[in-house]
Amino acid sequence: MIEIPYEYIFIRMFDSLIRYGNKRSVTDEEVCDYVSTYLELSEEFAHELGKEEVEFNEYDPLITLDAFISQNSNAFYEENGTYYINDDVNLEALNLAVAICNDSDEIPDLFKIDEEDIDLLETIGATYIIEEVKKMYKLELLYEKAYINYITNPNDKNLKSLKKYFLAKHINLENIRNLPEYFVDGIYYVGRDYLDEIGCAYDKLPVDKELWDAMPHVGPIDAPNVLYETHQYAIFGKDSLAAAHLREDLHKIFVEKDSSLQDKMFDFLHKGVLEEELYQVIYLRYIANIDEYFKKYGYDADLAKVKARLMYLLDNNQLFLYDEDNLDKVKNTVSKVSFNPLDIFVLADEAIFLTGELFIVDKPTHTKEKLLLMKTYYDLTQDKNITELFDTFKEIPVYDGYNEVLFGKSKTLKRDKNNNNNNNSVK
């Protein structure tokens, strides 16, 4: 039988009331629901830790809480079945108490569950932050729709709508930046769990997974992990990007608030370029390649949607990419950037795979999108592995068309005027 650390659970409950609920009281019924849900989550966590059977030595939580309140009457009190946190008790004191317990060997690990679990918080009505995150997500959906509508159909009405939601979103994010650190933490942790549940999903992966697993790679990269990166999903996916984008915005603010996390997140990849900046360079180059494709082959609705989705992810209140002049300036800047293949090994892995897949698979999907991703990688790195692998497929009919998109050149300079074989086309 496992003894339940009720006092630890109660301290975490009161901490969560303020941190996630912006409230200072809880009813006896809510206490019972909280403890019951907490133990269910602890049992699940115990299984994750490798414990097959878990049996708790349970007591009436209210009797135990009454004893806890009596021992800590300077911090809590009970009145008519409702338990209150004294006005002079602040979150920092509760948080310190939780931290001390977490560091104690007397508290079994199985009870150190994630306090921001939404189901757990709802049992005590600590839903203030959950509701705030839901409001932010609704705003993000409106912003995403307005942004994509304007980029794919630019007119004054759509521009007015875009500016409205662009301003609302960035005012909201700035307001979060100015909140106390504990509140930012709460929004991030609850938001992360809530938004991850929405996420992005493929009905079917846009690559041949069996072929991916069979081919040698530059690094140990799993295909789904690459393809679920938000910018990649913007290219190959269909669903909304709002949840994933908002999650990344909240994570950025969360890191900004914690200097120790900033040090860990500053992963210098090449010439002082950070991960976020790296993605900006890669996918702004991808957008530039879409524009070049339009000039050469004509407008393509699918690629126009991809361009709009990528711009939605990349834009912010410093770039204003929806303004065509600003977009052109940024594209010109990133056109001068280059990388060593090892600096962007994840994309290298994928580009090498796609080079083979487009020739090996009988009916590859997302051909244009994949060719432009390969082109973007090659433009940035001039990686000879791409050209050498690509040239091994010279005798395959589609080689000529692919070669023209990728490298701007064609193997066959003169064609039979009567040859209307579309196998060489990627349009």
Please give the Cα distance from 179 to 173 (Å, whole number). 10
pLDDT at 342: 83
Answer whether residue 409 shows pLDDT above 90. no
pLDDT at 274: 57
Helix axes 6-21, 91-103, angle to 10 degrees: 140
**Under a CB-based contact definition with an 8 Å cutoff, are residues 389 and 369 in contact?**
no
Confidence band of 167 (pLDDT split at 50, 70, 90): very high
Answer whether residue 266 shows pLDDT above 90. no
Task: Identify which of 262-266, 346-350, 419-423 has the greatest average pLDDT.
Answer: 346-350
43-to-46, 56, 101, 374 alpha-carbon distances in Å? 5, 9, 19, 47
Lowest mean pLDDT among 193-207, 340-354, 387-401: 340-354
For 181-235, the pLDDT digits (tens) are 888 988 999 999 999 999 888 999 999 988 888 876 645 567 778 889 999 999 9
Answer whether residue 136 shows pLDDT above 80. yes
Lowest mean pLDDT among 27-36, 122-131, 397-406, 408-417: 408-417
The larger pLDDT score, comparing residue 263 to residue 71, is at 71
**Under a CB-based contact definition with an 8 Å cutoff, are residues 283 and 314 in contact?**
yes
Q: What percent of the chain has pLDDT over 90?
A: 68
Answer whether residue 95 shows pLDDT above 90. no
pLDDT at 400: 93
Q: Where do runs of H (alpha helix) occur along 315-392? A: 324-334, 345-360, 367-381, 384-391
Burial string for 205-242 (b: 16+ CB within 10 Å, else e) reads: ebbbeeebeeeebbeebebeebbbbbbbbbbbbeebbb
pLDDT at 413: 34
Q: What percent of the chain has pLDDT over 70?
A: 90
Residue type, 212: W
Confidence band of 75 (pLDDT split at 50, 70, 90): very high
pLDDT at 77: 96
pLDDT at 427: 59
Task: Output the pTM of the full model.
Answer: 0.88
**Domain range list for the chain:** 2-125, 130-202+223-319
Q: Tell me the three state secondary structure of residue 229.
A: coil
Please give the Cα distance from 393 to 411 (Å, whole number). 12
Mean pLDDT of 113-132: 93
Structure-token match 């912006």, residue found: 22
Q: To which H or E segment does residue 167 belong?
A: helix 156-177
State the DSSP code for 27.
Answer: E
The larger pLDDT score, comparing residue 422 to residue 394, is at 394
Mean pLDDT of 49-54: 84
Structure tokens at 12: 């975490």
Please give the Cα distance from 399 to 355 (Å, whole number). 11
Helix/strand/coil percent split, the chain, to 5:
65, 5, 30
Please give the Cα distance from 398 to 415 (Å, whole number). 14
270-to-247, 288, 373 alpha-carbon distances in Å? 26, 21, 20
Q: 315: left (phi > 0), else alpha (psi -120 to 50), else beta?
A: beta
DSSP E strand boundaries for 5-153: 25-27, 56-57, 76-79, 82-85
Question: Positive or negative, the Cα torsion across 355, 357, 361, 364?
Answer: negative
Please give the Cα distance from 148 to 309 (Å, whole number). 6
Structure tokens at 341: 């293949």
